[in-house]
A = this chain, B = another copy of it.
């Protein structure tokens, strides 16, 4: 289907009913409660019996490994906060709008993830020197744009063996819930969500770049459908705001009492640390106060004291990272609706 300027379709609504965004007021929590973490599932959540579950590590390795969950849990573990965001966040704000999961601003969350080092496991398997990529295959199966496949993505060997890359089996101190990849998922801190293959069943060292659907067709920045473009990789900088005041049920329009209001939210980037968050009141930008991030790969809190005067106002926030990337005012358009990190704005009525 082509991008459209038309209204939301029933297929988009059905996707929105299945997939889950964070309610923006939940940006108040350092760590997102599991049930409010964003979730995008391409096919169905598979039913996996943990007793018979095995992770197979093979391909271009010296020694194939077949591991049960308890063997993976017995390896040295790491726990760290990681911010995950869907590459399609902001898609429904594009004009024309690519037809897929119609995210507005809410496809993000930060959890405490626990897992074991992928690099260490690959070392045990003895990845051979002519390996170019590591391929990750999940148990989820379906059809996308005519291609029937198990969900699979690859990483260049150098990206896969970075020390922060984990095979994760706990989220927020508990075994993964089924929808987050139980019993085991990949975690690649700093990268958009499609990278973190859920329901992981196979890891293969490969000697040619992977050309499967989710790697070669989906998840590219393309200005036209017939160009290859650039691959979607790390998370672009973004700041979001806890909407102040209280909402109208249907319109979500905010009402705020006049006087001093603390605006606050979160900012993150998978490219480089966030160095600046700015807040705009009716178009005039000022620096917000930025707290240290929760971790190297997790969001940080920002806040801004606003003296709210009666009337209608538009508030906005934007982040800049240490690599000099600042969020754009206008949405960066591409065919698949990827990486739209344009500024978040909130209309409020002050009384």
Contacts and interface: CB of A to CB of B under 8 A. Distances in A.
A251 interface: yes
A13 B11 contact: no
Contact of A34 (B16, B43, B177): B177
Nearest to A42: B249
A285 interface: no
A246 interface: yes
A180 interface: yes
**Most B C-beta atoms less than 10 A away, residue of A34, A44, A142:** A44
A41 B16 CA distance: 16
A121 B177 CA distance: 35
A32 B129 CA distance: 46
Nearest to A248: B143
A164 to B, nearest CB: 24
A243 B44 contact: yes
Interface in A207-253: 243, 246-252
B247 A179 contact: no
Interface in A247-276: 247-252, 255
A148 B16 CA distance: 28
Nearest to A14: B252
**Most B C-beta atoms less than 10 A away, residue of A6, A33, A106, A148:** A33
A28 B47 contact: yes
Interface string A1-33: 100001111111111111011010110110001
Nearest to A182: B33
A141 interface: yes
Contacts of A247: 43-44, 142-143
Contacts of A17: 16, 21, 102-104, 106
Contacts of A15: 250, 252
A92 interface: yes
Nearest to A28: B47
Contacts of A106: 17-18
9 contacts: A7-B7, A13-B16, A13-B102, A17-B103, A33-B177, A143-B248, A143-B255, A144-B250, A148-B255
Interface of A: 1, 6-18, 20-21, 23, 25-26, 28-29, 33-37, 39, 41-45, 47, 92, 99-100, 102-104, 106, 141-145, 148, 177-180, 243, 246-252, 255
Given A23-B45, A29-B178, 10 more contacts: A6-B7, A16-B17, A18-B252, A23-B44, A26-B179, A35-B35, A43-B249, A99-B250, A142-B248, A143-B248
Q: Nearest 9 CB-CB pairs, A to B?
A: A7-B7, A35-B35, A8-B8, A16-B16, A144-B249, A25-B44, A143-B248, A33-B177, A17-B21
